Amino acid sequence: MAAALAKDSIVAVIGSGAMGAGIAQVAAASGYQVRLFDTRPDAVAKAIADIGKVYGKLVEKGRMSGDEAAAANARLHRLGDLHEVDGAALVIEAIVENLDVKRMLFADLEKIVADDCILATNTSSISVTAIAAKLRRPERLVGMHFFNPVPLMALVEVISGLATAQDVADTVYATAAAWGKNPVHAKSTPGFIVNRVARPFYAEGLRLLSEQAADPATLDVLMREAGGFRMGPFELMDLIGHDVNFSVTQSVFNAYYGDPRFMPSVLQQEMVNAGFLGRKSGRGFYHYGEDAAKPVAQTMARQSRPETVGISMEPGVKNAVTEPVELRLREAGYTVTHRKPLPGAGHNEAPGFHCTGAAIFLTDGRTATERANANKHPDTVLYDLQFDAAGATRIALARADQCSESAWLATVGLFQATGLEVTQIDDVPGMVVMRTVAMLANEAADAVNQGVCSAEAVDIAMQKGVNYPRGPLAWADTVGIAHIVTVLSNLAATYGEDRYRVSPLLRRKLANGSRFHG
């Protein structure tokens, strides 16, 4: 395992915009000598002044001593000319996202720096292999992909191109760790880890919206309050900007030669066409500004509490998803009676709750209407996945078209009795959280299957790079890989689209009975 570059080594940062300034701030605070260069000299002056202000704030908050701030400030230097990078041990490029411009910069740098100087690119979408291709020593170029804002986001994807030397990637990994970051190794493939695996988070939201499952505010609240995500997809796309988010999706889709997994959304294209780019334009899926109305998510009115509830379950079978729901029902004062599934009877599927004639199941990727029909039990209601059934504040329910009003309202009352807000969504396959999580896990599994990164790396990346509450593969372990495969298979059957094809690694794990972690 390679060691980090020694403290006091010279780290040159080329490009002093949002990313370059953040990288410089972190490196100088960690004891490294930082040299900043930009073709716009005023950009460097501004970056150094801004970093000084941030250090000042950290001192006020007691997170840095005055001496540490002064020392870190003293380690930041402006380069007037690119030739002054000559003593650097590491050069990190954070200039415009353009292959030719980046290639030109690295070709220039190679003429200046020592042979053992590591060259790193902060590109988020260009092949590291391609950037390195024309270099005299392509093995010393590596991706060092930080996330915005750099000082706050712990993840660094260390990207190896085809020619990158392992010790170069290892040194950059160890150096990022020495800067207090959480690095992960990845192979240079379109979107690397995060920008690839996160695509379904936005795409399934957009598809659910286009299928009229619910409005954006309702879908967002479900992803937050049931799914445990910090933001829902629509508020997050509004924050990122639809032009930026759409262009990342397009670039990954094109890079994978039109794989339907990554198909961009017509709905989002229209947002871009309209100039509804999100917060920055004052309008996206939401309206911004002082007089903008606050969006209201769908929440069911209070219903009376049903008397009893039971569960059909094979004796001795444990189920990680139904168990916390059952516990919550017990805490609400119910004696949940267990009974064996009755073959051929109305609700013969197990595990399933039953209450006032309603059969209530966790979504398995089929609609409630389809399950009601298959089970010959019209009064069927489905519930969506929750991140943490014990702590969640909301749950989504979907009602079969055939379901009676009394069975539906009894189910709503049952979940409300456990202290949950209940949101009704239209009867779409896979519901909201389950469908998104299944697709995130599928993409994460494919990334691992294709050798892009390890299972540990993908889960760290999604938690540290985009703040997911749990890694997608750990989530698949929790729900049960068998259930995730069922959800995806049912989605694939319903839509007839290759988009929902099950990752071979999920199938393999299912067949050999193993998990991703532990």
The verdict on 49 binding ligand NAI (CB under 6 A) reads: no
Q: Which among 505, 226, 506 is positioned nearest to 363, based on CA atoms? A: 226
For 3, half-sphere exposure in the C-beta direction (CA atoms, 13 angstrom radius) is 4
Residue of minimal Cβ distance to ligand NAI = 17
The verdict on 40 binding ligand NAI (CB under 6 A) reads: yes
Out of 3, 6, 8, 39, which residue is the one contacting ligand NAI (CB under 6 A)?
A: 39
- Residue 146 vs 387, nearer CB to ligand NAI: 146
- Residue 28 vs 445, nearer CB to ligand NAI: 28
Site of tokens 């660094």 = 156
What are the angstrom distances between the C-alpha of 67 and each of 25, 48, 56, 59, 61?
16, 17, 11, 9, 14
Structure tokens at 167: 């010790």
- From the candidates 16, 30, 195, 312, which is the catalytic residue? 195
- Residue 441 vs 466, nearer CB to ligand NAI: 466
Residue 98-127 contact track with ligand NAI, rule CB under 6 A, x = bound: ---x---x----------------xxx---
- Residue 97 vs 270, nearer CB to ligand NAI: 97
Cβ burial 225-246 (10 Å sphere, 16+ → b, else e): bbbbbebbbbbbbbebbbbebb
Sign of the CA dihedral running 401, 406, 407, 409: positive
- From the candidates 110, 122, 127, 157, which is the catalytic residue? 157
Total residues at the site for ligand NAI (CB under 6 A)? 23
Contacts with ligand NAI in 127-166 (CB under 6 A)?
Answer: 146, 148
- Residue 105 vs 440, nearer CB to ligand NAI: 105
The verdict on 17 binding ligand NAI (CB under 6 A) reads: yes
Helix, strand, or coil here: 65? coil
For 320, half-sphere exposure in the C-beta direction (CA atoms, 13 angstrom radius) is 15
- Give the whole-angstrom CA distance, residue 104 versus residue 500: 41
What are the angstrom distances between the C-alpha of 505 and each of 190, 345, 447, 485, 500?
20, 36, 10, 10, 14
Out of 72, 94, 194, 441, which residue is the one contacting ligand NAI (CB under 6 A)?
A: 94
Helix, strand, or coil here: 267? helix
- Give the whole-angstrom CA distance, residue 334 versus residue 175: 55
Out of 4, 5, 13, 15, which residue is the one contacting ligand NAI (CB under 6 A)?
A: 15
Tell me the closest approach of the beta carbon of residue 13 to ligand NAI, in angstroms. 10
- From the candidates 124, 245, 251, 312, which is the catalytic residue? 124
Site of tokens 């695996």 = 197
Out of 4, 5, 43, 359, which residue is the one contacting ligand NAI (CB under 6 A)?
A: 43
Phi-psi map region of 275: left, alpha, beta (phi>0 left; psi -120 to 50 alpha): left
Q: Can the peptide bond before residue 149 be classed as cis, meaning omega within 30 degrees of 0? A: yes
Q: Which stretch binds ligand NAI (CB under 6 A): 39-47, 390-398, 421-429, 441-449?
A: 39-47
Q: What stretches of 38-169 adopt beta strand conformation (E)?
A: 76-78, 90-93, 118-121, 141-146, 155-160
Out of 18, 107, 274, 292, which residue is the one contacting ligand NAI (CB under 6 A)?
A: 18
- Residue 105 vs 118, nearer CB to ligand NAI: 105
The verdict on whether 348 is a catalytic residue reads: no
Out of 5, 51, 92, 95, which residue is the one contacting ligand NAI (CB under 6 A)?
A: 95
The verdict on whether 145 is a catalytic residue reads: yes
Q: Which among 339, 309, 341, 340 is positioned nearest to 325, based on CA atoms? A: 309
The verdict on 19 binding ligand NAI (CB under 6 A) reads: yes
- From the candidates 77, 122, 145, 326, which is the catalytic residue? 145
Contacts with ligand NAI in 225-284 (CB under 6 A)?
Answer: none
Out of 5, 14, 34, 236, which residue is the one contacting ligand NAI (CB under 6 A)?
A: 14
Q: Which among 446, 404, 510, 478 is positioned nearest to 262, based on CA atoms? A: 446
Structure tokens at 342: 């009755």
Q: Angle at which helices 199-210 and 266-274 pack, to 10 degrees?
A: 90
- Residue 128 vs 476, nearer CB to ligand NAI: 128
- Residue 111 vs 294, nearer CB to ligand NAI: 111
The verdict on whether 247 is a catalytic residue reads: no
Out of 49, 63, 80, 97, which residue is the one contacting ligand NAI (CB under 6 A)?
A: 97
Tell me the closest approach of the beta carbon of residue 152 to ligand NAI, in angstroms. 12
- Residue 71 vs 231, nearer CB to ligand NAI: 231
Structure tokens at 264: 């961009």
Name residue 10's beta-bridge partners: 33
Out of 20, 216, 306, 471, which residue is the one contacting ligand NAI (CB under 6 A)?
A: 20
The verdict on 16 binding ligand NAI (CB under 6 A) reads: yes
Q: Which stretch binds ligand NAI (CB under 6 A): 13-21, 72-80, 159-167, 201-209?
A: 13-21
Do the strands 394-399 and 358-362 form a parallel or antiparallel pair, or are they unpaired? unpaired
Tell me the closest approach of the beta carbon of residue 238 to ligand NAI, in angstroms. 16
- Residue 17 vs 56, nearer CB to ligand NAI: 17
The verdict on whether 157 is a catalytic residue reads: yes
Q: Which stretch binds ligand NAI (CB under 6 A): 11-19, 52-60, 131-139, 436-444?
A: 11-19
Out of 96, 107, 374, 482, which residue is the one contacting ligand NAI (CB under 6 A)?
A: 96
Q: Which among 76, 77, 51 is positioned nearest to 64, based on CA atoms? A: 51
Q: CA 149, 4, 45, 69: dihedral to nearest 10 degrees?
A: 80
Residues classed as catalytic: 124, 145, 157, 195
Binding site for ligand NAI (CB under 6 A): 14-20, 37-40, 43, 94-97, 101, 105, 122-124, 146, 148
